[in-house]
Each structure stands twice: as C-alpha cells, then as structure tokens.
Amino acid sequence: MNYTLMFYESQADFAARKDPERQEAYLAGWTHYVHALRESGIVVFGSGLYAPETAATLKRRGGDMHVQDGPFPETKEQLGGIFVIDVPDMDAALEWAARGPVDTVEVRQNIPALK
C-alpha cells in the first residue's frame, strides 16, 4: 500500500537551507533519514520542494484565472517535501513519519491506480 508523507517545515527550517551556519546540520538530518528510507527498500518516490515563496498559485474565480505569487494556503508551516512509501499499513507509515527530521508530518494513503 502506498502512503504519502508530507513534511511541513517552519520558516526557520526554510531559512536554514540557505544559512551557511545551519545548512550543514539541516541537510544532514535529511541525508540520514533518506539513507534509512532507501536502505529499507520502501521508497516509491521522494523529493524536496523549493521554499514556498518560490511558488505560484493558480486560482480560478468564476471564469477568470488568477495567478498569484506564493503558496496556498498562507500558514506558518509549509510543505517542504514529500515521500511516497510502500508499507503494509498506516501504522507503519506513521512509524516512518515519526523518524522524519521535522516537527509536522501529514500522512495519507494514496488512492491505487485505476485499472
């Protein structure tokens, strides 16, 4: 069963990506986690995302299309990356989520591909 782990990061986390003093520690946290995930053989897909201010959000209002800078929605913590993992159940997915180097992880089951 595939589950998506969505890793939410604070502004401080996003800042740490570029801060020369914190960058190494920030990246190390991910390196080890990704290492453990890959060695476990459960990774279907995984990718980090650039910071929310680089995003563009498209909204259709009525018949009109609006494009705005920034993420949807504007919250303190923003999506920083995702992993899709193949594990037996939600319990196992949550166990992996707990090991992530961030404080907030949302876990959802993927809808299987339509046949």
Partner 1 sequence: MESHRIVEQTAREAYGRLLSYLTVHWRNPQDVEDALGDAFLSALQTWSKTGIPEKTEAWLLTIARRRLIDRARRSRVSAEALPTLLAMSGEAGHPSAPSGAELPDERLAMMLLCAHPAIEPAMRTPLMLQTVLGMDAARIASAFIVKPSTMGQRLTRVKAKIRAERLTFEPADAEEIPGRLDSVLEAVYAAYGSGWDEVAAVGSPGGSWAGGGLAEEAIELARLLLRFVPAEPEVHGVLALMLHCEARRAARRDREGNYVPLSEQDCARWDPGLIAEAERCLHAASQAGRIGRFQLMAAIQSVHAQRLRTGRTEWEAIAQLYEGLIRVQPTLGAFVSRAAAVAEAYGADRGMALLASIPSAEVANYQPYWALAGHLYKRMHRHDEAKSAYSRAIGLSAEGAVRQFLSRQLDGL
Least separation in angstroms between residue 91's CB and partner 1 is 6
Distances 52 to 18, 38, 57, 64, 95 between C-alpha atoms, Å:
14, 26, 10, 24, 27
Nearer to partner 1, 41 or 73 (CB): 41
Least separation in angstroms between residue 25's CB and partner 1 is 8
Least separation in angstroms between residue 17's CB and partner 1 is 18
Angle at 112 between CA 32 and CA 33, to 5 degrees: 5
Nearer to partner 1, 52 or 100 (CB): 100
Nearer to partner 1, 10 or 57 (CB): 10
Between CA 44 and CA 84 the distance in angstroms is 5
Interface ranges with partner 1 (CB under 8 A): 25, 28-29, 31-37, 39-41, 90-91, 94-95, 98-99, 101
Least separation in angstroms between residue 103's CB and partner 1 is 9
Backbone angles phi, psi at 51, to 5 degrees: -55, 150
